[in-house]
Chains A and B, each alone.
Chain A
Amino acid sequence: MKQLIVITIALSIGFMGLSMNANSESPYKQPIMAESADVRVFVDRPPEVMRIHDLKIMLDKPDEAPPVEVQIRVRDYLPRSLSPVLIIAGEPAARKYRIVSHEDNVTVLGFLLDQPQLLKSKGDIRIQYGDDPDTRSRSVGNLGMDNVKFIFQEAAIKAGIIPRKVK
């Protein structure tokens, strides 16, 4: 009899767990599975001549700050109504995004920083869907100038990646 009671309780707990899981497993309430981030800076000179020192000087002059794209690799990205939003240090940081590539179950999203100067902030990088903080990803690193990749701006414009003048 005792065994039966124990089994019954165990089964009940199991079913409760399943039921709770059914709710918590709504794909719309899951954090985005961001895996890593890369930063690309679109510069107006050949990338091979660029130095971090040059970038610092450019970022200090608002009119000369180059466009900065943060690319994030996402596993099992769920296409939905809410756009992906880049969050730097807890705040939305990019109005424009693009889908850079999609292969197997990995999607790469690109975000153009509204304020390129944020690159100096060392803020942590996350993404979420729209204005829903429940979907915010884990941190995939911090913004910084150390590991940026320089891209020749004119080539990026010709390829249609960035507009001639970023608003």
Chain B
Amino acid sequence: MNNIRLLRSLIPASFLTWLAMATCLVIATSCTLKIVKNPANSCKPGKHYIGQVDYDFEDEFDLIPVGSITPAYPNVDVRAVVRYPATAPGVGTPIAAGRFPLVIFLHGNHATCPCSCSHACAPADRIPNHLGYNYMLDILASRGFVAISIDGFDVTCAGSFTMSDYEARGRLVLRHLEKWVDWNDNGTDPWGGLLQYHVDMNKIGLSGHSRGGEGVVAAEYINRTEALGFKIKAINAIAPTDQDPDIHYVSEEPYFLLLAASDGDVYSLQGLRTYDRSFPITLPVQEMKTMQWIYGANHNFFNTVWTPGTGFACASDDGVGEGRLSPKLQQLTACQSIVPFFERHLKAKASHLMSVFKGDRPLEGEDGIEAYWAYQDPNRLELDNFEAGDNPGSNSLGGIVSSSGGFLTFDEFEFKPSGLDRYLNRTYRHFTHALVLEWTAPQFFLSNLPVGQQDVSQFKALSFRSGQIIGGATPDVRNPLDTSRTIRVSLVDSANNVSNSGFPVTALQSIPYPYEYNGGKTVFTTIRIPLRGFRLDNAPFPLNDVAAVRFEVEGTGLMAIDDIQFTR
């Protein structure tokens, strides 16, 4: 561990925040750094007792591809563990009064029998991969959800030419949903109608880990395209893969992607691409998407069954690099983000939770953890998404983009695994087209809003995604090791007045140094700058007359910028 990192790990985040605020007061006359609110804690158990039941229908059905009569996955079990809000703790205790949203978890690919892909071991010897999210089910149940975790035994360690295992996972989720509709409507559940009328089937959330992440996305896709009618309202993927040959992606419901920087299994971080593909401006339906990116987290610790110490045969630590999180801490990060995501979208709870997703609010128990966010609001004006061809001289609104002329690189590139005009850098795993900036002396560029599109007063923030690039050498001389970078952003009105302070990007909103381990990983982080802070001589900036956005950089640097937006 280098000295800077060691020092940082010894200083509480609250002190760093205080220091940042003090610095802010000294160096900027109208600095907008916010007073930090109380940390949010979504892992605190809620008011309900936790009831628990499970169900197990062995060899319940065949998964048969469309147009075929032969099963691709025969004799599939329908099995899950259930937690629900109860009047008393325990097995089969009465459910609490009310109707509760349903959240379904689905694990990913792992051994099915001890250290093997066999499906022939005795039921008692099977690896219960689905039990690894009980920590999450318990919190959700206590906070007013019916939460279940599906055992994907027959679609795990399996594959077919006639139906991908992602589709199979998705169809398994939908099979469970069929049962839940029937149980809720007709009291036909295996527990004597215990949950009848108490499950709000209009509010369904799905969460999938690893290949399960693609599985729940496939479930939503099949539900929509085959008009099955399940009311899936929110989707979360935890360290997902991106391997489905049919390439599904979330296109209508809110999406939350949780990514682990030390993931030694999905080493390539391919799941990051699912965030980029969701909700491009061309889609008719827009919803929010958000991503949390956690340094030191690995793939397996999100599932306690895959975690050494609490897990079963062949549990292992796949993580790579320094600054690793303990299993308990990693599970806390999952809980602190996934629970509020479902509370926000299935219970329409407290708008303050949005500040968590926007990265504006600290999370209790996560002091010292390096975690970064990306967020895209459905309500936005895209100044430049850099997607329309390779033209750094104009933006997505058709406005002119001009620069100071001294950038060593000022060009757009593909950040994709294949294709032409790719930016060949080992640390990016995105699926987007972005602007690369390289400089060795102070520079700026201006992105102009065309006349008629200069009123942005309906928006609350200017946001963009950015990430430092580690070049060929590590550390790269242009990006000092372990140093966050600053872009000063100003607004310019049609009379060429410039907002007087600009915005130093502070410790709370910084462009982080890339994750150095696990092969090096860079992820675009969203920087959100409240528009109310832009001022002219202490008067509010005329937000109905924004002619250009100006970006200034100092020192040296190599970074990429994407998705410059005015946003809610």
The reply on B497 being an interface residue by CB < 8 A is no
CB of A82 within 8 A of CB of B243, answer: yes
The reply on B251 being an interface residue by CB < 8 A is no
CB of A80 within 8 A of CB of B110, answer: yes
CB of B266 within 8 A of CB of A82, answer: yes
CB of B159 within 8 A of CB of A98, answer: yes
Pick the most buried of A79, A131, A157: most chain B CB atoms within 10 A of its CB.
Answer: A79
CB nearest to A103 among chain B residues: B118
Complex Cα distance A80/B306, Å? 11
- DSSP class of B's interface residues: helix, strand, loop or mixed? loop
The reply on B270 being an interface residue by CB < 8 A is yes
CB of A132 within 8 A of CB of B268, answer: yes
- With A79-B110, A81-B108, A83-B243 as given contacts, are A26 and B318 in contact (CB-CB < 8 Å)? yes
Residues 155-167 of chain A, each 1 if its beta carbon lies under 8 Å from chain B, else 0: 0011111111010
Complex Cα distance A77/B265, Å? 14
Chain A residues within an 8 Å CB radius of B164: 96
CB of A160 within 8 A of CB of B318, answer: no
Residues 215-257 of chain B, each 1 if its beta carbon lies under 8 Å from chain A, else 0: 0000000000000000000000001010101000000000000
* Interface band, chain A: 20 to 34
CB nearest to B162 among chain A residues: A163
Interface-located stretch among A5-13, A51-59, A104-112, A140-148: A104-112
Residues in B54-94 with C-beta less than 8 Å from chain A: 65, 67-68, 70-72
CB of B117 within 8 A of CB of A77, answer: yes
The reply on B528 being an interface residue by CB < 8 A is no
Partner of B161, one of A102, A130, A131, A161: A161
- With A27-B316, A131-B417 as given contacts, are A160 and B159 in contact (CB-CB < 8 Å)? no
A75 to chain B, nearest CB (A): 12
B519 to chain A, nearest CB (A): 9
Chain A residues within an 8 Å CB radius of B112: 79
Count of chain B residues with Cβ under 8 Å from any Cβ of A? 40
CB nearest to A69 among chain B residues: B161
Residues 84-108 of chain A, each 1 if its beta carbon lies under 8 Å from chain B, else 0: 0000000000011111001001010
CB of B111 within 8 A of CB of A82, answer: no
CB of B299 within 8 A of CB of A107, answer: no
CB of A160 within 8 A of CB of B241, answer: no
A77 to chain B, nearest CB (A): 6
Complex Cα distance A107/B108, Å? 19
A31 to chain B, nearest CB (A): 14
Partner of B158, one of A26, A99, A112, A157: A99
CB of A79 within 8 A of CB of B270, answer: no
CB nearest to B159 among chain A residues: A98
B299 to chain A, nearest CB (A): 7
Chain B residues within an 8 Å CB radius of A112: 161
Complex Cα distance A162/B110, Å? 25
The reply on B109 being an interface residue by CB < 8 A is yes
Residues in A35-82 with C-beta less than 8 Å from chain B: 69, 77, 79-82
The reply on A152 being an interface residue by CB < 8 A is no
Complex Cα distance A110/B159, Å? 9
Residues in A114-167 with C-beta less than 8 Å from chain B: 130-132, 134, 157-164, 166
A51 to chain B, nearest CB (A): 26
A17 to chain B, nearest CB (A): 20
CB of A160 within 8 A of CB of B118, answer: no
Chain A residues within an 8 Å CB radius of B243: 82-83, 130
Residues 128-158 of chain B, each 1 if its beta carbon lies under 8 Å from chain A, else 0: 0000000000000000000000000000111
CB of B109 within 8 A of CB of A130, answer: no
B509 to chain A, nearest CB (A): 32
- With A77-B117, A81-B241 as given contacts, are A110 and B161 in contact (CB-CB < 8 Å)? yes
Partner of A159, one of B65, B70, B109, B270: B70
- With A79-B117, A97-B159 as given contacts, are A164 and B68 in contact (CB-CB < 8 Å)? yes
CB of A164 within 8 A of CB of B67, answer: yes
Residues 17-34 of chain A, each 1 if its beta carbon lies under 8 Å from chain B, else 0: 000000000111100000
Chain B residues within an 8 Å CB radius of A162: 161-162
Complex Cα distance A163/B266, Å? 29
CB nearest to A160 among chain B residues: B70
Pick the most buried of B118, B157, B164, B267: most chain A CB atoms within 10 A of its CB.
Answer: B267
B215 to chain A, nearest CB (A): 11
Partner of A95, one of B117, B210, B245: B245
Chain A residues within an 8 Å CB radius of B108: 81
Chain B residues within an 8 Å CB radius of A134: 267
The reply on B211 being an interface residue by CB < 8 A is yes
CB nearest to A156 among chain B residues: B161
CB nearest to B318 among chain A residues: A28
The reply on B264 being an interface residue by CB < 8 A is yes
Could you show 23 A-B contacts with beta carbons less than 8 Å apart? A27-B318, A28-B264, A28-B316, A79-B111, A79-B116, A80-B110, A81-B108, A81-B109, A81-B210, A81-B211, A81-B241, A81-B265, A83-B243, A95-B245, A99-B158, A102-B157, A107-B117, A110-B161, A131-B417, A160-B65, A161-B161, A163-B67, A163-B162
Excluding A83-B243, A160-B71, 11 further A-B contacts by CB distance (< 8 Å) are: A26-B316, A26-B320, A27-B318, A28-B265, A79-B110, A80-B109, A81-B299, A98-B158, A99-B157, A102-B116, A160-B72
By a beta-carbon cutoff of 8 Å, the part of chain B in contact with chain A is: 65, 67-68, 70-72, 108-112, 116-119, 156-162, 164, 210-211, 239, 241, 243, 245, 264-268, 270, 299, 316, 318, 320, 417
By a beta-carbon cutoff of 8 Å, the part of chain A in contact with chain B is: 26-29, 69, 77, 79-83, 95-99, 102, 105, 107, 110, 112, 130-132, 134, 157-164, 166
Q: Which 8 A-B pairs have CB atoms at the shortest separation, nearest pair first? A: A160-B70, A95-B245, A98-B159, A81-B210, A28-B264, A131-B268, A163-B162, A81-B265
